[in-house]
Structure 1
Amino acid sequence: MSSTEVVSSFIEGSPPGELNDVVKSIKALTSDSDPSLLQNPKVKAAFQRYNESQLVCTKLPGGNQYVLVSEHNRLDNDSSTYYDTTTSTSFSFDHTTQKASDSKSYTHDSPHNDLISSISKSLSTHFAEHYPPQSSSSGSGSAYTVSSSSDNQIALLISATKSSPQNFISGRWRTTLLYEPSAKSLSGTLSAQVHYYEDGNVALNTSRKISETNISDNGTEIVKRVAQVEKQYQEEVNRALVGMNEGSFRGLRRQLPVTRQRIEWEKVRGYSLSDNLKGK
């Protein structure tokens, strides 16, 4: 595997909210051997794939409004310009630094403009009720958008990221659903990622495919169905985690040593296994 492929895999495997940390590590490891590696077109393409697939939230310049980056709201074939129907703006996006710039007033022309507007209005209420407020802290943010994925589909996208380096944890929720007006169907994926890295490295990466039919072409009803499938998925994940905690995790290690006493880790250097084996 070439260095370009290795670096690309590191980038695309970055945990939520930790891309900048991964980039710093890559720079530290490659600065002497190939300082221009991050500017390689294949590596730049990896940045774009990561940002779009992760529905990265970015803050528009001059304010606290977060918007989403995805393949569904990218303008034409331009790999760095996107639009947001919620704020009626277009903006440039640097995939390496994850910074937005050059925001402008923009309205995307679509044959589904009325339905998009109706969905957006209902989704705004749902988003405010169930997702965390926007934060100016690094690596955190939440946003949604409804866009014309094509003349035949409408994309409903939600992303919420929480990164807390001081607590060694980060996570991201993504809703990526496509509504097809002609078939009155809703399909896509819901996914959740969590990374916990205090004195270890534990990751949760789970997703669920969605396929719903017979949905009214009414914004309120569409969002109501979105809320239902999100709630079902969240409950499934919660049940699975409780089951793992009470079952699988208990079998991984003893809750207490055979002495039935807690180990005082700050005094662990004073323990002598050899003396215990000798009965001293």
Structure 2
Amino acid sequence: MASTVELASAFIEGAPPGEMSSPALTSEGDDIIPSLLPAFKRYNETQLTTVKLPGSSQEVIVSEFNALEDNRYFDPESQTSFELDHTTQTASGAQSYHLESSNADLIKSLLKSFGAHAREHYPNCSYGVYPIENDSAVAILLVANRYSPNNFWNGRFRAFYQVPVSSPSTLTGKIQVDVHYYEDGNVALNTTKPLSINIPSVSAESIVSKIAAAERDYQEALNRAFVQTAEGAFKGLRRQLPITRQKVEWEKVGGYRLGQDISGGKGR
């Protein structure tokens, strides 16, 4: 049988977008929270959680690719490092940070070009470019959150791309979309699109152009899937008209007598 910590960790890591917090998971209260820190950290890094830098409105990404020691992370665009409380998702202890990378010029160019693409197409987005694989490649991350709890739904778009700096190269990665709708029930959309794209030259313009095309194609495919689902599977789940072949006057439904008025028959 799974322990309390294992169950609570699974609950945390499976939380839908915008719905993860540090609840009083058991009667043990704060005593259990230290045991759950690894789960909170995995959630924040996997979901590309965004946090505001201290004293700034700028939101930056938390991921395994910009992790430092002692729960610190860095942001190459603002040249800042910060400490993160994984349970509350708050940043503190901001310090100046200089990126040590032989690909610093490529990263700077990608931040400019990819940032323009992200801001144009994704409201409320954050992005980052980081050196990885011992400086032999760069990771490009994008996350866009849209939360509407008053309307019972939240959503998140995530994208991860990896590009070796040798030319020509192959861009690999994935696009993920997670949406949770929970009014009078639970409906979730979780999709992942793996990518592998040839890049003729390792330049910011070439890389961003390929990414933009891949994201456009995927979003168009999602739109087509939504239309097909609405006109197919979802439509088949409901009866268009009752057995009488006449529409129900829903504004009068409170006055109907089941089995008599709706069916057109007479009560006994």
**TM-score surpassing 0.5?**
yes
Aligned match of 1:210: 195
Percent identity (aligned): 43
Cα 1:105–1:255, aligned 2, differ >3 Å: closer, same or farther?
farther
Gaps of 5+ in 1: 135-141
Equivalents in 2 of 1:252, 1:67: separation in Å?
A: 42
What SS does the aligned partner of 2:199 have? coil
Alignment of 1:168-183 (within 5 A): 168-182=152-166
Q: Would you say the 8 A contact 2:248–2:262 is kept in 1?
A: no
Tell me which amino acid in the other structure corresponds to 2:33. Answer: Q
- The change in CA–CA distance for 1:265 and 1:6 in structure 2 (over 3 A counts) is farther
> Within the alignment, does 1:35 sit opposite 2:29 as a pair?
yes
SS of alignment partner, residue 241 of structure 2: coil
From 131, 134, 138, give the equivalent of 1:148.
131
Report matched runs for 1:221-240 at 5 Å: 221-240=206-225
Distance in 2 separating the partners of 1:117 and 1:92: 23
What residue number does 1:186 align with? Answer: 171
Judge conservation of contact 1:194–1:205 (CA < 8 Å) in 2: yes
The aligned counterpart of 2:41 is 48
Shift of 1:185: 1.6
Instruction: For 1:101 and 1:73, locate their aligned partners in 2 and report how far apart those are by CA, in whole Å.
Output: 16
Bigger helix share = 1
Are 2:232 and 1:261 equivalent residues in the alignment? no
Query: Does the CA contact (< 8 Å) of 1:215 and 1:222 recur in 2?
Result: no
Distance in 1 (alpha carbons) for counterparts of 2:240 and 2:55: 52
TM-score (norm 1): 0.87
Of stretches 183-192 and 5-14 in structure 1, the one that deviates more from structure 2 is 183-192
2:89 match: 98
Q: Provide structure 2 residue ranges, at least 5 long, that are not aligned to the other structure.
A: none
- State the match for 1:5 in structure 2: 6
Structure 1 residues 159, 79: CA separation in 2 closer, same or farther (over 3 Å shift)?
Answer: farther
The amino acid of 1:177's aligned partner reads Y
| Residues 74 and 80 in structure 2, CA contact (< 8 A), matched pair in contact too | yes
Q: Which AA in structure 2 matches 1:97?
A: T
1:106, CA displacement in angstroms?
0.9
Runs of 4+ in structure 1 off by over 2 angstroms are 255-279
The 1:269/1:45 distance shift into structure 2, 3 A limit, reads farther
C-alpha separation in 2, matches of 1:241 and 1:55: 26
**What's the C-alpha RMSD, in Å, of the aligned pairs?**
2.1
Within the alignment, does 1:161 sit opposite 2:145 as a pair? yes
Deviation per residue, 1:47-87 (Å, 9 max, x gap): 11111111111111212101000001111xx2511001121
Cα distance in 1 for partners of 2:93, 2:221 equals 41
Number of paired residues?
262
Q: More relative contact order in 1 or in 2 (CA 8 Å, sep 6+)?
A: 1
Could you say which structure has the larger radius of gyration?
Answer: 2
* 2:139–2:162 Cα contact (<8 Å) kept: yes
User: Given the two structures, how large is their TM-score scaled by the length of structure 2?
Assistant: 0.90
Q: 1:265–1:69: structure 2 CA closer, same or farther, 3 Å change rule?
A: farther
Match of 1:19, SS state, is coil
Q: Give the Å deviation of 1:107.
A: 1.6
